Amino acid sequence: PVSPTVDYFASFYTLIRRALCRMPHIQELNLMVLDPNYQQVLDHPSFHSLSHFECRLGLSESLISFLNRHRTIVYLQLSPGSTFETSSVVLPRVVLPKLQYFVGNSECGSAVVPDASLRAAFLSWENTISAPLDIINSLERSSGETINLISCRRSGWNLDLIDLISIRLPDIYVLIITNLFIFTARPNDSYVRAIERSLSRFSVLRDIRLHCFFYLEGSRNLDEEFDIVSSWGKACPSLIHCALPHSQGMKWVRFQTYNIWIPDATDPQGAEWTWKMLRSSPTWKSLSTAVFKYLQCSETSSNEDKDYKSCKAFEIIHSLLSTEIQ
């Protein structure tokens, strides 16, 4: 009979540990398996130049010992879920002075980042009632002058999280928020205005992406989306890219020369809407004049259909956008 107290795979982990001990020059190590027994694999190996370490382990005394032996780590990924071992023992401090990129649970992040100067943090919250204050405070203290990108996966609309980031870390360039819940209706006006207030605090934000992980698809109103991204762009003049939580992944881009927001060229509905605006909207007059002038000079037949001209106009616009953003 199989005994639950016997570790039948002890020799397997021993072989892995011995193999790792024979490779001291490893620079990247990936242990992305859901197996806490891999903690013992890390007890002895030491890698002189380890800069990239990924695992699905939670913080424990043995893992922290491994991390503190490898202060050359620049990129660290830990478990996205509940991470701390239930123990009355106070865990040692994590010291990773060269860490620039962290991926993992917010609780791990609070323990890992105090001695780091991060450029990017990819955070997740498993506990739906967990407050974001600890990790954001830690990032402000350690990485407030260096961090450029923050990506968060958390339940709810996350207005509290976005507001907190805008106050504590107003100098980031990219903010990505994934809302983990099901919704069928578009965000209401109070949500739009709350985001607008938060955006006004950012000084150099160029890209905000708000996604809903579980979104029941419905019809889109691009006129409404255009009004939203325009108001957000007015609140945050540095903003260039924007994805709305109900836009099903479609991004909007600000054409700065004309201060006009246009949707993703790869989206059919976005292409049709942009063509309509080019032909009819007074506010797009300067842009449409440039596009139509190009179309008239191009070597095209007089009976081209609307779809071709729409694609051609989009090609022109995005060519100009690419040059402008560079």
- Sequence length of the chain is 326
Alpha-carbon distances of 238 from 35, 42, 165, 259, rounded to whole Å: 44, 45, 17, 11
The answer to whether the CB of 278 falls within 8 A of the CB of 255 is no
Residue for token pair 């009976």: 303
Residue for token pair 């007089």: 302
Q: What is the pLDDT of residue 318?
A: 63
- pLDDT exceeds 90 at position 97: yes
Q: State mean pLDDT over 105-120.
A: 92
Question: Which of 31-45, 193-207, 210-224 shows the highest mean pLDDT?
Answer: 193-207
Its pTM stands at 0.86
Instruction: Give the count of alpha carbons within 13 A of 84, CB side only.
Output: 15
Q: How confident is the model at residue 296 (pLDDT cuts 50, 70, 90)?
A: low
What would the two tokens of residue 314 be? 């989009």
CA atoms of 31 and 56, how far apart (whole Å): 7
Q: State mean pLDDT over 198-213.
A: 94
Q: CA dihedral in degrees (9, 15, 16, 20; nearest 10)? A: 160
Q: What is the pLDDT of residue 306?
A: 55
The answer to whether the CB of 324 falls within 8 A of the CB of 256 is yes
- The fraction of the chain above a pLDDT of 90, given in percent, is 48
β-strand partners of 75: 52, 101
Q: How confident is the model at residue 113 (pLDDT cuts 50, 70, 90)?
A: very high
Q: What is the pLDDT of residue 116?
A: 94
More confident residue, 164 or 290: 164
Q: What is the pLDDT of residue 194?
A: 97
Q: What is the pLDDT of residue 203?
A: 97
- Report the candidate in 129, 126, 130, 101 with the shortest Cα–Cα distance to residue 113: 101
The answer to whether the CB of 99 falls within 8 A of the CB of 71 is no
Query: Contacts for 47-53 with beta carbons within 8 Å, 24 or more apart?
Result: 47/23, 48/24, 48/72, 49/25, 50/26, 51/27, 51/75, 51/98, 52/27, 52/28, 53/28, 53/29, 53/77
Q: What is the pLDDT of residue 30?
A: 94
Alpha-carbon distances of 84 from 53, 88, 89, 135, rounded to whole Å: 18, 11, 11, 15
More confident residue, 244 or 303: 244
Q: How confident is the model at residue 138 (pLDDT cuts 50, 70, 90)?
A: very high
Q: What is the pLDDT of residue 5?
A: 60
DSSP 8-state secondary structure symbol assigned to residue 273: H
- Report the candidate in 191, 229, 193, 224 with the shortest Cα–Cα distance to residue 209: 229
Q: What is the pLDDT of residue 269?
A: 84
DSSP 8-state secondary structure symbol assigned to residue 96: -
Q: What is the pLDDT of residue 104?
A: 94
Residue for token pair 């913080």: 59
Q: State mean pLDDT over 227-234.
A: 96
CB atoms within 10 A of CB 276: 15
Q: How confident is the model at residue 217 (pLDDT cuts 50, 70, 90)?
A: low
Question: Please, what is the angle between helix 159-168 and helix 189-199, to 10°?
Answer: 10
